[in-house]
Structure formats: C-alpha cells, structure tokens
Chains A and B, each alone.
Chain A
C-alpha cells in the first residue's frame, strides 16, 4: 500500500515540477506525472522481487552480530 501511495506522491511531485516550467501544453504535466508514477511502481515491484529472490533463511543470522564462543579454561 505504501508503494502505491508513494507512487502517486512521486507522480504529483514530477507533475508539479513540470508545471512550473513554462510549457505550452497543459497535458504535459499530467503525462509526466503519470509516467513518473508508473516508473516508480515498476521499480518498487522489481525491488520487492529482487529482495525475495535474494532471501535465504540464514540471512538474518548473517546480518546479526556474532559473539565468538568463549574458550573454556583448562582446569
């Protein structure tokens, strides 16, 4: 849901940025916003797919900080 909402935000941002530039046609800004939004959603989907492909059950342990086992004193 966050990705879909953020896509709209980025599209609006791009549309506003284009609207500031004096361009004759009124349709350029919405079109640019739509393109930016679609590209954002596509990137989000690809990122999610790559993240799940790179998943390994041991990943969390690899990212954790391991404390080396203490050596037993010879008694």
Chain B
C-alpha cells in the first residue's frame, strides 16, 4: 500500500519535495468505513490495555508496601519481645532478604509495565494520526506529535524523566 502519512518533520510538510501523501479516501476507497471502524476498535483495545498496565502497577506496588509495613510491625514486636537479642537478628535476617527480593522483582515488573504503557500510548498516537488523516478538521481538537519528536522522550537524555522520578511516582518510568 502506497499510503504515506504526512509528518510535521517530513520534507513534504515544508514544501521541498519528498513523499507525497495520498489521502486515505484514495487509499482505502470503499473500505475506508471499515478501516475507521477497525482503528476505533483498536483504539479502545489499546486504551483498555493501558488501564490494565496502570492497575497492575498499582496493585504490585501496594502489595509490596503492605508486605513492608507488616514486616516492620512484626520486627517491632519481635524486637520488643527479645529485647533486641539474637531472636530479633535472626528474624530480621530471614524476613528482610525476602522482602528485598520481592522489592527487586516488583521494580523489574514495574519497569516492564511502564514500557508497555509507553508502547500502547505510541500506538494510540498513531491511530490519532490516522484519524487526522481521515478528518483533518479535527486537528484543533486532537494533539498529535508525529515524526522523530514522537520518539524523542525515550531516546534523548535531556527529555527523559529524571532520576528523581523514581521517587516521585509509584511506577518506575511514567508519570502516573
């Protein structure tokens, strides 16, 4: 299919040549209605997948924090009972490594789900670009970042979330 989407950074947008965009009505012909229906369905599916990643991250982080809280309460009890003796150290040296392991795997999964969320967001952005190609009148209502700028937050150091973001958010990467 020779359908080429116009991009903000492509040469044709500046009028200096490059691939000439073909209107979707010419590309899809009679199938445009079905294509829009497919795109809309995919949009909702991706949005649902994004919600799933967010709720999974919240659930995992909550489980970890609950385990940490109960661990600390148990340590306080055993410390009071054993007067910070050998039993306290034994108890702590059994529980804390387990809790650390749970924390490490929780963090790993949060990084994964954050990247999944970004991937879904990029796909939603592509569908929005398709909507704009079909109906350019929507441009003032839909924000679409196209071209290399769309991938910049992931690959340019200056645009990445800072290291402080690890503390600010429950998730590992995104701002939710």
Contact = CB atoms under 8 A, between A and B. Distances in A.
Interface of A: 1-6, 9-10, 12-13, 16-17, 19-20, 41, 44-45, 47-48, 51-53, 55, 57, 59-60
Interface stretch (B1-9, B16-24, B31-39, B117-125): B117-125
A2 B61 contact: yes
Contacts of B154: 52, 55
B144 to A, nearest CB: 16
Contacts of A41: 166
A52 B100 contact: no
B107 to A, nearest CB: 5
Interface of B: 61, 64-65, 68, 89, 92-93, 96-97, 99-100, 103-104, 106-108, 110-112, 115-116, 118-119, 122-123, 154-155, 160, 163, 166-170, 172-173
B163 to A, nearest CB: 6
A1 B173 contact: no
15 contacts: A1-B170, A2-B107, A3-B166, A6-B100, A6-B106, A9-B96, A9-B103, A13-B96, A13-B97, A13-B100, A19-B89, A44-B107, A45-B163, A51-B112, A60-B119
Contacts of B107: 2-3, 6, 44, 47
A16 to B, nearest CB: 5
Contact of B160 (A9, A16, A20, A52): A52
Contacts of B68: 5, 9
Chain A contact surface mostly: helix
B93 to A, nearest CB: 6
Contacts of A57: 119, 122-123
Nearest to A54: B115
Nearest to B118: A55
Given A16-B92, A17-B93, A51-B112, A44 B166 contact: yes
A48 B100 CA distance: 18
Given A1-B169, A57-B122, A9 B100 contact: yes
A27 B16 CA distance: 68
